[in-house]
Amino acid sequence: MLKIVYRNCAGIDVHKRTIVVTIAKTNDKDITDYQTKSFSTFTEDLIKCRDWLVSNGTLDVCMESTGKYWIPVFNILETECNCIITHPKYVRSLPGKKTDKKDSIWIADIFKHGLVEPSFMPPEDIRKLRDLMRYRNKLVYNRTGEKNRFQNSLTISNVQIANVLTDVFDKTSQSILKLMLENPNLTLEDITPLLRKNLKSSPEDILKSIHGIFDECQSSKMTICLNHYDSINECIDLLEEQILKLAIKYSAEINLLLTVPGIKELSAIFIIAEIGTNMNVFVDDNHLVSWAGLSPRCNESAKKKKSVKITKAGVYIKPLLVQCALCAIKDKSCPYIKARYESLKRRRGHKKAIIAIARLLLTSIYHILLTGEAFEYERFDKLLNRNFKSNTQIKNSPEEMISYLTSLGYSITLQNT
């Protein structure tokens, strides 16, 4: 018989317009009594639901994360109850016996036995910061999309300014392109005042590159893209101001993360917004790595290992850590990271190597936030020196020398003499 963990708990089946709440009370004889009520998702009714739970002494509540509909319910119940949010896959009921009432009873039943895997829920301040950072992330993606559309229009119009200037969206390029859209027949005198003194390309080459084949369709499209691009930049700037205000509270943790190679200020804020600052909510660093989707999955049957590729978890933090890892392998302050990447890349390829570096960074971040100590470069330098000495030790036999040279990428051919 399963052990009863919560003798007075509730399960909530959340929908857009209504929620179905079932209170499960278990007496000393392990007999459970159920009370079920439905409430609308209006704020007034959600407050009535909270008061009903409190009046019954039900402070432990479980609900599944259904879209975004659980958020207002959680925000109201959080003030009085211990709310557990779980992934729908952990509370999925049996097919053929599925109604709203039965779903809420099923959630309450598995929750009272402690069979629900709770999702990580950071404090309210972290959740606000997370919401803004994720919105900024979406705006950055939209900005990149507009840049790509604008570049496509330039290619269709045969404007080859990207061949003579490094960045199409820097100040000089944008000044020339906006003037070009107003007047396609520019002269050398028109663009010369807009050019920087340190440009490698000559004014004549730049003038040739912007003489394309224009039509009204592409010109209007490029104008709209540029206007949208500028408006997105303004929104990102306003959003970053609000983000920095919320992040002041976590300036000590941010400064600690800035000591990690490859991590800049906004990246540090994004990491804190995703994982919080209290590492005690995770069992260990491996738990955090698994939560972020940077560990291989367990998939074995009949002693045969199937696909062990990384999971789909961490849809926000995983791409961020990969970007930080790409910066870290170029950081000369910690040569061990690049050496580790190159070693893995030779054997497993670029993708698996960069995931391994992202996992290394996240493990370091876990211990930094847990102990409050900065990133220790000396420890990695010692590890690099130790590996270098073990790899460069004298090889005694011909087989060892051949194996060592092969590991370095050389192709060895034996000849009889």
Please tell me the pTM assigned to this model.
Answer: 0.83
Give the pLDDT confidence score for residue 270 in this predicted structure.
96
Tell me if 39 is assigned to some domain.
yes
Alpha helices in 33-99, H assignment, sequence order: 43-55, 70-77
Judgement on whether residues 318 and 344 belong to the same structural domain of the protein: yes
Model confidence pLDDT, tens digit, residues 358-416: 999 999 999 999 999 999 888 887 777 766 555 545 445 677 677 777 776 777 777 76
Structure confidence at residue 210 (pLDDT) = 85
**Is 329 part of any domain?**
yes
Is residue 13 one of the residues assigned to a domain? yes
pLDDT tens profile 98-140: 888 999 999 999 999 989 888 889 999 999 999 999 999 999 9
Q: What are the angstrom distances between the C-alpha of 218 and each of 160, 214, 270?
A: 15, 7, 37
pLDDT tens digit sequence for 280-291: 999 999 999 999
Say yes or no: 333 and 362 in one domain: yes
Average pLDDT along the chain: 88
Number of domains forming the structure of the chain:
3
Residues 218 and 151 in one domain: yes
Q: What is the pLDDT of residue 71?
A: 92
Q: In terms of domains, do 257 and 385 share one?
A: yes
Contact 154, 162 (CB under 8 A): yes
Burial of 343 per CB tally in 10 Å (0-12, 13-18, 19+): middle
- Same domain, yes or no: 56 and 144: no
Within a domain: 283: yes
Instruction: Specify whether 355 is located in the same domain as 225.
Output: no
Residue 414 maps to a domain:
no
Contacts of 154 (CB under 8 A, 6+ apart): 160, 161, 162, 168, 177, 212, 222
Domain membership of residue 119 (yes or no) is no
The pLDDT score that the predictor gives to residue 198 is 79
* Nearest-angstrom CA–CA distance, 22 and 365: 41
Residue 400 lies in a domain: no
Q: Identify any residues that bridge with 64 across adjacent strands, giving them in sequence order.
A: 86
Encoded tokens for 214: 């224009």
Residue 157 lies in a domain: yes
Q: Which helix (H) or strand (E) holds 361?
A: helix 350-371
Question: Do residues 242 and 255 share a domain?
Answer: no
CATH code for the domain in which residue 12 is found: 3.30.420.10
Check whether residue 258 and residue 383 sit in a common domain. Answer: yes
For residues 335 and 349, state if they share a domain.
yes
Print the domain residue range for 294.
250-298+307-390
Structure tokens at 167: 């960045």
Instruction: Round to the nearest angstrom and report the end-to-end CA distance of the chain.
Output: 77
Same domain, 346 and 380: yes
260 with 373, same domain?
A: yes
Q: What is the DSSP-derived secondary structure letter of residue 108?
A: H
* Co-location of 348 and 285 in the same domain: yes
- Residue 405 has what pLDDT? 74
What is the structure's pLDDT at 318? 95
Q: Looking at 48, 78, 112, which one is the last position of a domain? A: 112
DSSP result, 232-281: HHHHHHHHHHHHHHHHGGGHHHHHHHTTSTT--HHHHHHHHHHH-S-GGG
Q: Which residues of the chain have pLDDT under 50?
A: 392, 394-395
